[in-house]
Structure 1
Amino acid sequence: MSVTTDVLVIGGGGSGLTAAISAATSGAKSIVLEKCARPGGSTGMSVGSFTAANTAYQYRAGVNDSIDLFIEDMKVANGKDEARENVALRRVLAENAGATLEWLSSIGVQFLGPTPEPPYEKPRMHNVLPNAGAYVTALLREARKRGVQVVTNVRVDRLLRNADGEVIGASANGVEYFGRRAVVLATGDYSAATDLKAAYVGEDAARVPAVNKSNTGDGFRLGSDVGGVMLQMDRLYEGLRFPPGRFPDPIKLLPSHPSVSRLVRLVAERLPKRLLAVLLRGALTSWVGPNNTMYAAGAILVNEQGQRVANEDSDKLLARGVAADSNRGFMVFDEALAKRFSAWPNPVSTFPGVAYAYVGDYARYRPDMFHKADTIEELASKAGINPARLRTTIQKVREYGAAGEDPEFGRTSFGAGISEGPYYALGPMQSYITLADGGLAVDTTLKVTTPEGAPIPGLYAAGSTGQGGLQLLNHGLHIGWAMVSGRIAGRHAAQASPRTDLTSVGAKGSVLETPVSELSVIQ
């Protein structure tokens, strides 16, 4: 059986849906193959920030920005990783992010902003309203409008090539799907691919679970099988997060219909910033873990046995240590540190430029994660930690701090340590990989390239799959790249010359054309 279209997109997240829409508006028919029951990918699970320069939101706010300033700020954010940057793709992102955000606005996505995002000089972060589901809702609605067909529950097992070596389609669930003009890989990253994480980062990283369990590196494998090359596969974002709260997050419960988004934007823009920040704190405490500045100030991280599991100087090491143990970690600190992190400029967790959560907010919004007691033993009992071992651990860390040396894990920043009660614990927290920054090598038109830099005929990649060496080390850049790269890949794929030979190498006899209407299609 076979299905034929002009542009075949593999992956139904933000970049894949955008690529399919871009191809359709460029005059090509397109089909999206999504392995999950619902489209959306990591885009729908994200916070949803979109960082861009030269937007109407900036103009209205009186922000005078430029592409070159944007690039210079990305250089600063990169720090030591600037030497690894793909400067050509960075300029593609910077030059197209503003127009892409305006395009999203034109199809019904609403933003709040721009808001500051250090170390950027200019406010560029645009926060989607009411939540990241608005991207998926708007893109699916636009896809239907443009005649894009989204087929779900279809996992691609291999790419198809003809006798000339051109990529002409993909095989999935016993069906051969052909793209006359091109195939676009948009399957997300490899944060849930245990084998890839172990091979390129290490066994400790492989134990850390992913936020998006569907990101199993499918596009990386497919692209590599036909000659593509994976770049910078050592780049994982590992950290600790709180599990979801007992009560649903009201921000995420809001429907992502355009009318709701417009209403939320009108309300958000007119509310005093202090009141808006208060309203968002409940959502903030359900999304992220504490800032590492609390460890630098003296907090420690322990497991349920009351023992430290890693060096608190490193988010990555903490995540790996917790994952290798019971995947339950508790931040422990004293009254002095609690007071310090109860007011600006010392938030426990942040949504930069929008909302800040302090110790009191966790007591108010996350009582299931907040524990306080007058003694160490009482605190341990409330949190479910071994009391005797917790006391021993705290005494050891006090001694390490006094000596300025940690013989167990090599910690160097002890801060004020843990002194007088009352004592506090936040947790349990769990380890997660939020995303991975490796990607297939691509050129500036998003064609997948070989190790020698030659384009692979008929194959494009977008989003995390086609990140190609971009660093994306600040908030809002991953969503920006997903949408920018999707639009570019879809447009160029649609403009490619149609292949005359759609016979896959190794195919036996004739094939039976299957109507797409008989497949699991999102209407």
Structure 2
Amino acid sequence: MRLQFQWDYEADVVVVGFGYAGALSAIAAHDAGADVLVLEKAPENFAGGNSRVSGGGMRVPINIHDAIKYYKAVCFGTVPDEDIAAMADAMTKVPGILRWLGIEIAELGLPRMRHPVAGGESFRLYSIAKNGKPVFEPIAAVGSGDLLYGALKQRVIDRRIKVWYETPAKKLVQDPLTKEILGVVAARRDKTINIKARKAVVLACGGYENNYEMWINFNFPGIKVYPWGSPYNTGDGIKMALDVGAALWHMVSIEWDCPCIKIPSEIYGCAVQTRVVGAMRPRVGSYIVVNKHGKRFMNECKTLVHRKEPLELTHFDQERLEYPNIPFYLIFDEAFRLQGPLVKNTRIGWHNIFNLYEWSHDNSAEIDKGWIVKADTPRELAKKLNINPEELEKTIISYNKNCEAKMDPDFHRPAETMIPLNSPPFYGVELALTITNTQGGPKRNAKAQVLDTENKPIPRLYAAGELGSFWGFVYPGGSNIAEAIALGYIAGKNAATERPWNKASMHSMKG
């Protein structure tokens, strides 16, 4: 006996998520003749996911054969060779896709990947452009992600593609016998609605960085991280895909960024980053980073952006059952305070794009708020921060001697960045780890088809973007955006070519 399923709305292709991948999926499906509906969890003002607050740089290969070599090296066997080859081909088409949409892009002068492996020289970095000039400066962390999102959103509007904001998808509807995906259950205006997808569903709803349960199960239990991007990324697509039998991959592949200031990050629910530590451009000044024991433990100038080697910050002491370097603190003096704000307003990250808080130019407002702790001596500062006073004093004395010797024998910080920390009063601020995004999610192939646990496509289900990204271990900077565009286009086009499912074959359904 067949269970009758009541549909409240229907479209040929339903796209879940409205960042770069979702926008490209919707556009490609529409232009292939499909009737498209986009479901977006966030209100319109905050839509766009991590895409919108990204740097906007797109790393694109110019030689497929070299790209295959490079992608094999960075994926470390986590992606099948045939999919790597197909992805390399798809990624070369990204500039052409954007130009087809009438979006001006330009090449930046940063062609080579940071990793010195075969094929890394055959890449180019692009961004959206104005009057022939790229709108992107990676070293200064000035991004163009918001501009690219605006351009893609306008192309969706021009096509009159329906976008339902504040409509989170909750479940996929699946035929229990054929395993076809028939639609989506969503929440809209305080009601549960059933949306029929006559041809296919595309999941493009981001990662899980704001889902604490997923974080502690796949990464570092006991460490609280503050996401740099959209607070709406809570692993919804992962849960929906699991419910219909999808395999997962790359769940432990995460991307770090510069640390954040803990108190305002807690207040605003996202990373309020300082680029004093761990930035791509080393900061010169009288500052150090210490752990709760008052000791230095890292080169403060080593970039943390998209790092993959074990961070000193995530080192775990199994005998003491603790992360000895968390919490950690930025310690500096009056001379450094007067150099400028600890947090500069850039055009990257949720905090900056939505102007949640503007840091004072001399850090005085944050001292008054208690976010930055002030003291006349290092020992007094240590007591206020609840760290070891004697050790902090020793650490500062040792650091100052290293400055005079123009060397850092313990952590190899560049000598030109080291200025003696000896100008009272002294300051300290607790830092926390920042995560840019997660790469894991439902496993997919280069056709953007979601795969089950036997590596077979789940009929009528596609995925694109960082939800199940191809980057399974080392992340090639700028490749999430290029992948979102390439796979979003492929997912939408392939979804539109599916034949509508036959009502007569519909059995009792799981949803």
- The AA in structure 2 aligned to 1:331 is L
Tell me which residue corresponds to 2:25: 19
Determine whether 1:99 maps to 2:107.
no
Tell me by how many angstroms 1:124 deviates: 1.0
Tell me by how many angstroms 1:382 deviates: 12
**Alpha-carbon contact 1:377-1:388 (below 8 Å) kept:** no
Tell me which residue corresponds to 1:113: 107
Superposition map of 1:114-513 within 5 A: 114-116=108-110, 117-119=112-114, 120-122=120-122, 124-129=124-129, 130=135, 131-162=144-175, 163-173=177-187, 174-205=192-223, 207-211=224-228, 212-242=230-260, 288=275, 290-291=277-278, 300-302=288-290, 307=294, 315=304, 317=311, 330-332=329-331, 367-368=362-363, 378=376, 386=384, 392-397=390-395, 413=411, 415=413, 421-422=422-423, 429-468=431-470, 470-471=472-473, 473-501=475-503, 505-506=508-509
Tell me by how many angstroms 1:44 deviates: 0.1
Partners of 2:297 and 2:452 lie apart in 1 by 39
Partners of 1:392 and 1:108 lie apart in 2 by 62
Partners of 2:289 and 2:109 lie apart in 1 by 32
Determine whether 1:71 maps to 2:68.
yes
**C-alpha spacing 1:108/1:457, structure 2 compared with 1 (3 Å):** same
**Alpha-carbon contact 2:289-2:296 (below 8 Å) kept:** yes
Tell me by how many angstroms 1:91 deviates: 3.0
**Alpha-carbon contact 1:111-1:126 (below 8 Å) kept:** yes
Partners of 1:158 and 1:89 lie apart in 2 by 28
**C-alpha spacing 1:482/1:387, structure 2 compared with 1 (3 Å):** closer
- The AA in structure 1 aligned to 2:390 is T
SS, match of residue 124 in structure 1: strand
Tell me by how many angstroms 1:157 deviates: 1.5
**Alpha-carbon contact 1:154-1:172 (below 8 Å) kept:** yes
Tell me by how many angstroms 1:286 deviates: 7.3
Partners of 1:101 and 1:425 lie apart in 2 by 47
- The AA in structure 1 aligned to 2:186 is A
**C-alpha spacing 1:434/1:308, structure 2 compared with 1 (3 Å):** farther
Superposition map of 1:40-55 within 5 A: 40-54=48-62
Find 1:8's aligned residue among 5, 14, 22: 14
Higher deviation after alignment, 496-505 or 309-318? 309-318
**C-alpha spacing 1:123/1:92, structure 2 compared with 1 (3 Å):** closer
**Alpha-carbon contact 1:181-1:458 (below 8 Å) kept:** yes
Higher deviation after alignment, 162-171 or 392-401? 392-401
Partners of 1:422 and 1:399 lie apart in 2 by 13
SS, match of residue 84 in structure 1: coil
Tell me which residue corresponds to 1:35: 41
Partners of 1:396 and 1:384 lie apart in 2 by 12
**Alpha-carbon contact 2:381-2:427 (below 8 Å) kept:** yes
Partners of 2:362 and 2:123 lie apart in 1 by 34
**C-alpha spacing 1:302/1:107, structure 2 compared with 1 (3 Å):** same
**C-alpha spacing 1:83/1:385, structure 2 compared with 1 (3 Å):** farther
Identity of aligned residues (%): 22
Tell me by how many angstroms 1:194 deviates: 0.9
Tell me by how many angstroms 1:414 deviates: 5.7
**C-alpha spacing 1:217/1:504, structure 2 compared with 1 (3 Å):** farther
Partners of 2:93 and 2:210 lie apart in 1 by 32
**C-alpha spacing 1:140/1:122, structure 2 compared with 1 (3 Å):** same
Tell me by how many angstroms 1:503 deviates: 5.3
Tell me by how many angstroms 1:217 deviates: 0.6
Tell me by how many angstroms 1:21 deviates: 0.7
Tell me which residue corresponds to 1:361: none
Partners of 1:504 and 1:37 lie apart in 2 by 35
**Alpha-carbon contact 2:205-2:236 (below 8 Å) kept:** yes
Partners of 1:197 and 1:43 lie apart in 2 by 21
Partners of 1:168 and 1:388 lie apart in 2 by 57
* Structure 2: unaligned runs, 5 residues or longer: 1-6, 115-119, 130-134, 136-143, 265-271, 305-309, 316-322, 347-358, 367-373, 401-408
Residue by residue over 1:65-104, the C-alpha shift from the partner in whole angstroms, topping out at 9 and shown as x without a partner, is: x22233334456x2xx524344443333322223222321
Tell me by how many angstroms 1:474 deviates: 2.2
Tell me by how many angstroms 1:436 deviates: 0.9
**Alpha-carbon contact 1:306-1:389 (below 8 Å) kept:** yes
**Alpha-carbon contact 1:73-1:121 (below 8 Å) kept:** no
Tell me by how many angstroms 1:426 deviates: 8.7
SS, match of residue 198 in structure 2: strand
**Alpha-carbon contact 1:240-1:430 (below 8 Å) kept:** no
Partners of 2:28 and 2:64 lie apart in 1 by 23
Alignment size in residue pairs = 420
**C-alpha spacing 1:96/1:420, structure 2 compared with 1 (3 Å):** same
- The AA in structure 1 aligned to 2:87 is L
* Structure 1: unaligned runs, 5 residues or longer: 55-65, 247-284, 343-347, 352-363, 403-410, 509-523
SS, match of residue 209 in structure 2: coil
Tell me by how many angstroms 1:412 deviates: 6.2
Partners of 1:42 and 1:204 lie apart in 2 by 25
Tell me by how many angstroms 1:41 deviates: 0.9
**C-alpha spacing 1:82/1:335, structure 2 compared with 1 (3 Å):** farther
- The AA in structure 2 aligned to 1:208 is V
Partners of 2:506 and 2:465 lie apart in 1 by 29
Partners of 2:252 and 2:397 lie apart in 1 by 35
- The AA in structure 1 aligned to 2:84 is R
Residue by residue over 1:355-380, the C-alpha shift from the partner in whole angstroms, topping out at 9 and shown as x without a partner, is: xxxxxxxxx99533999xxxx95486
Tell me by how many angstroms 1:446 deviates: 1.1
**C-alpha spacing 1:334/1:441, structure 2 compared with 1 (3 Å):** same
- The AA in structure 2 aligned to 1:505 is S
Tell me by how many angstroms 1:466 deviates: 3.2
Partners of 2:382 and 2:261 lie apart in 1 by 16
**Alpha-carbon contact 1:306-1:386 (below 8 Å) kept:** no
**C-alpha spacing 1:472/1:186, structure 2 compared with 1 (3 Å):** farther
**C-alpha spacing 1:6/1:366, structure 2 compared with 1 (3 Å):** same
**Alpha-carbon contact 1:238-1:319 (below 8 Å) kept:** no
Tell me by how many angstroms 1:292 deviates: 6.7
**Alpha-carbon contact 2:439-2:468 (below 8 Å) kept:** no
**Alpha-carbon contact 2:216-2:222 (below 8 Å) kept:** yes
Task: State the superposition RMSD in angstroms.
Answer: 4.6
**C-alpha spacing 1:27/1:471, structure 2 compared with 1 (3 Å):** farther
